[in-house]
Amino acid sequence: MEDLEARCLEILELSYKHLPGYLKACFLYLGVFLGDKDIPVSKLVKLWLAEGFIQRTELKSLEDVAEDYLMDLINRSLVIISKRRSNGKVKACRLHDLLRDLCRSKAKEENFFQVVTRCDEPYVSFPTSDYGFEFDFDLHFDPVIYESYRLSIFLKRIHFVESRPSGLNTRSLMFWASTDSDPRCPYDISFICHNFKFLRVLDFECINMGVSFPDEIGLLVRLRYLAVSGYVRSVPHSIANLWKLETFVLNGLRGKVILPATIWHMTRLRHLHVNNHVSFNLDHEELGGCFQLENLVSFSCPSLSCDEYTETIIKRLPNLCKLKCIFFESRDSSKNCTQFPRLNFLTHLESLMVFFYGMPLFSNEFDLPSNLKKLTLSNFRLAWSDISVIGRLPNLQVLKLVCGAFEGQIWEMWEEEFQELKYLKLDTLNITQWNASCNHLPKLQCLVIQNCKNLEKVPYDFTEISTLLMIEVLLCSQSAEESAKEIGEATGEIKVLISHS
């Protein structure tokens, strides 16, 4: 067994040696992640960008080039696909244990990054407090100084924060909290801004920084990637000092977060993701300015109110490729504006996931960009007769209709619509009868029907869709399940999955 393992390592090392330089860096970087967890591709790509591993090209976006790099590593059998998206792209990946060992040994050999798995000073653990937090106190402590260019730290939060580490040579600092420390306990991380002044990457999503977003963050002027977490209510104006920032992730733990007006000066931002209801701190005068985030390609937040400024704000993000948001009826708007914002001006938008909480819409109020490839809708309560607005989108490949996106018992499909659709999901809809044929979904590959308890059957004519590979029926009626099974048995090629839980 040991000889076989040694032989495998030799082959893998040979594969690594034949990698072009830019791919070697991308491969080694995989070693900074937790070994037993999936690596989210979206996060990996953003980190690769921040590190400067991705070569610019006129023909593709930086994100597309990064995904090409990942596919190259996968095709060389150096990376394993662990999850795929509905459009077939890789959602998450992993390293085999042997490859992770190779990755970390090469990284150590080339001083590419340092993995920190223990604290250098002794600690004594005391019983938990009345609030359930565990308090650790150091008996004797000298500040820890790191020399490595990149740090991947696996420690208890209290151990790391109390050590007040520093590293003037450090350019990337990623923290992965050990599971034995309470994530609810807040910590003051402002010392990072003074002790690691030259960072390009700071990933602190695992540490709750409490209610105060440190104003000192403006000192880290070289940052390209920033991910933080906490009960913060507002982001300081000093965030705009990070003029090189490309990715900003704020994992808010409660309530609303106010983004400062200075956010519009951060013209290099490519990805903005806030895990809270977002309010832009803009008055009417500031809205009249000319600031736009022209490089922003993805924006997500749990909720954005439909008021008189919403459409104006979105127009300031002209090159968005991906938007994920909940739009809800504003109760504070002076104009009592509840209309869903028009999005047709987002000509580069390819992926839209949107939930709507407001007055029911009509089809003429639902204007979507023609470039859309992936669309998820929830709670729009549109009539099935209005679905042609979506069906006519010429590039749509993935459609997910969930939680009352459409209402009504009968869906009558029309020809010349959904001609490029490959993936369709119907989830928690009150549909009873679905009148469709193979001509209505000629390129469909995967059909998922979930929690549509009133649906009588899956159209039998789907047996004639030559591209159809899978039908999943989850928590539906027995008749719907039986009709799906009949389709699978009739073709012998379509995989049918049935689940009751």
Q: What is the DSSP string of 272-290?
A: EEESSEEEE---HHHHTS-
pLDDT in tens, 79-104: 999 999 999 999 999 998 889 888 98
Q: 166 and 53 in one domain?
A: no
How far CA 370 is from CA of 22, 115, 182, 341, 392, in Å, comes to: 35, 46, 47, 16, 9
150 is written with which tokens? Answer: 């990149």
**Dihedral class, residue 137 (left if φ above 0, else alpha if ψ from -120 to 50, else beta):** beta
Q: Looking at the structure, do residues 158 and 133 belong to the same domain, yes or no?
A: yes
In the listed set 109, 127, 152, which residue is the last one of a domain according to the structure? 109
* 98/135 same-domain check: no
* pLDDT tens sequence across 435-462: 999 999 999 999 999 999 999 999 999 9
Confidence of residue 131 (pLDDT cuts 50, 70, 90): very low
The C-alpha angle 461, 463, 467, rounded to 5 degrees, equals: 120
pLDDT range class, residue 494, cuts 50, 70, 90: very high
Residues 133, 240 share a domain? yes
Q: Are residues 128 and 181 in the same domain?
A: yes
**What is the Cα–Cα distance from 375 to 354, expressed in whole angstroms?**
8
Point out the domain boundary residue: 109, 124, 149.
109
Report helix, strand or coil for 90: strand
Question: Using an 8 Å Cβ cutoff, are 16 and 95 in contact?
Answer: no
The CA-CA-CA angle for residues 379, 383, 387, to 5°, reads 90
Question: Does 441 share its domain with 501?
Answer: yes
Q: In this model, does residue 501 exceed pLDDT 80?
A: no
Give the mean model confidence (pLDDT) for residues 251-279: 87
Displacement of CA 390 from its chain's centroid (Å): 24
Domain range enclosing 76: 2-109
Nearest to 199 by CA among 163, 162, 172: 172
- What is the arithmetic mean of pLDDT over 487-493? 93
Whether the CB-CB separation of 134 and 113 falls below 8 Å is answered with: no
- Is the pLDDT reported for residue 399 higher than 50? yes
Q: pLDDT tens-digit profile of 300-309?
A: 987 776 566 7
The per-residue pLDDT for 138 is: 43
* Cβ(166)–Cβ(143) below 8 Å: yes
Query: What pLDDT was estimated at residue 128?
Result: 35
- 455 within some domain: yes
> Which is nearest to 424 in space by CA: 409, 440, 408, 410?
440
**Cα separation of 223 and 215, whole Å?**
15
134 and 225 co-located in one domain: yes
Judgement on whether residues 70 and 186 belong to the same structural domain of the protein: no
Domain C-terminal end among 232, 251, 270:
251
- pLDDT band of residue 330 (cuts 50, 70, 90) is low
Question: Do 239 and 134 lie in a common domain?
Answer: yes
Q: Number of structural domains, the chain?
A: 3
Is residue 259 one of the residues assigned to a domain? no
Establish if 136 belongs to a structural domain: yes
Verify that 200 and 187 share a domain, yes or no.
Answer: yes
Kindly state the tokens that stand for 58.
Answer: 């006129």
Residue 293 lies in a domain: no
Q: What percent of the chain has pLDDT over 70?
A: 86
Residue 4: pLDDT band with limits 50, 70, 90: low
pLDDT tens for residues 339-389? 677 888 999 999 999 988 777 766 666 788 999 999 999 998 889 999 999
Whether residue 119 sits in one domain with residue 96: no
Q: For the whole model, what pTM was predicted? A: 0.90
Distances (CA, A) of 25 to 19, 116, 171, 254, 366: 10, 20, 15, 37, 45
CA–CA separation, 92 vs 81, rounded Å?
A: 6
CATH code where residue 84 lies: 1.10.10.10
DSSP codes, 101-143 = HHHHHHHHHTT--EEE-S-SS-EEEEEE-TTS-EEEEESS---
Q: Would you say residue 412 has pLDDT above 90?
A: yes
pLDDT (average), residues 317-343: 74
Checking if the pLDDT of 477 tops 70, the result is: yes
Judge whether 271 and 295 are in contact, CB under 8 Å. no
The span from the CA of 263 to the CA of 291, in Å, is 9
Mean pLDDT across the chain, nearest whole number? 86
User: Do 235 and 201 belong to one domain?
Assistant: yes
> Which are the contacts of 421, defined by CB distance < 8 A and separation ≥ 6?
396, 397, 398, 399, 441, 443, 444
Report if residue 73 sits inside a domain: yes
Return the ∠ at Cα 127 (arms to 124 and 131), rounded to 5°: 130
- Report residue 173 as tokens: 């600092």
pLDDT digits (tens, 9 = 90+) for 205-243: 989 998 889 999 999 999 999 999 999 888 999 999 999
